[in-house]
Amino acid sequence: MRPAELERLSVGEAADRYVELVRARTLTGALAVSTAEVYARDVATLVELAGEATVLDDLSGEDVDAILLAFARRPDGRRSGAQGQQSATSQARFRRSISALFKHAALAGWVQLNPMAAATVTARQRGGLRAERRALTREQAQGLIGAARTLAGEPGQGRRDQRTELRDALIVLLLSTLGPRVSELVRANVEDFYTNDGVRYWRVFGKGGRTRDLPLPHDVALALDAYLDRERPSSPGAHDKALLLSWRGRRLARGDVQAVIERVQRRVDPTQRRTVTPHGLRHTTATHLLADAVDMDAVRRVLGHSDLSTLGRYRDELPGELEVAMRTHPLLRPPRKP
């Protein structure tokens, strides 16, 4: 039986009251305006997902689970044309926002019980919805690499000083074949690439001040030299050492890399195309090197991990790999002839 003081507000009414209180806190300096607007945006999303006319007190833990999962599957509108789900950071922020609303609702007498206490969806489950972070299949990865190769071989379009085809191809090839962290990629300088005994190397400055020297596959080395010789803009100033520059001569930011991947993806055959992030390409590198029986310690060194056990997080399942393993089982192969 509900207490007499319980107000059976709709989700829309409760949201309006709560957002008004949140914005009032900015007047006293208790809350930053930008933070208040984040709360307001998340609460508006809650109204959309739960239904404006739904009574707030009628929402159960199962309803909250459904709302959290629905939010996780929503396209990330911060990226143009993005089809992937929300980032783990956005999901955690949304959960905090609606948790704060329900906590206030319980104190204000809008709900008898806080339904967040009965929510069962874990961060692992929400994160698992992000398909764009999983490794690409061999066909998908080869489609993306093929598009990058084609892009590198095409004559540039538009003004010479505004072309980015070779740069975009190089970015995709480096991410797909060497799997660097996106921070390592955008921090790279021209001087970090050198030649030793006819082999091109990239000295990667990684986490914890550690460095690793990675030999570039032949095709990647050719793309690097083509970009440096024909397209990379020369600009005086602090960014002159940066490998990856915009046509205005500024070092690329982390967010720019995702836009490059999506631009190259549009050239991939639709049957091979799948949304992927820079970190998803890091998974792709690890997965296919390990699937091809490359030594685990070598893969660890390519990715820049200090501990071999970390590789387990980067090794994703590939369709059909168990069937292939059973067809070529080492104990069932015919004995070698003397």
Active site residues: 181, 207, 279, 282, 305, 314
Q: Can you state the percent helix, strand and coil of the chain, rounding each to 5?
A: 55, 5, 35
With residue 141 as reference, give the H or E element that holds it.
helix 138-153
User: What's the 3-state SS for 155-209?
Assistant: CCCCCHHHCCHHHHHHHHHHHHHHCCCHHHHHHCEHHHEEEECCEEEEEEECHHH
> How many Cα neighbours within 13 Å face the side chain of 229?
7
**30 class by beta-carbon count within 10 Å (0-12 exposed, 13-18 middle, 19+ buried):** exposed
Beta strands 193-196 and 199-205 are antiparallel
Joined tokens for residue 206: 């990684």
State both tokens at 242: 């940066």
Encoded amino acid at 40, one letter: A
Name residue 177's amino acid: T
Q: Report d(CA 43, CA 310) in Å as an integer.
A: 37
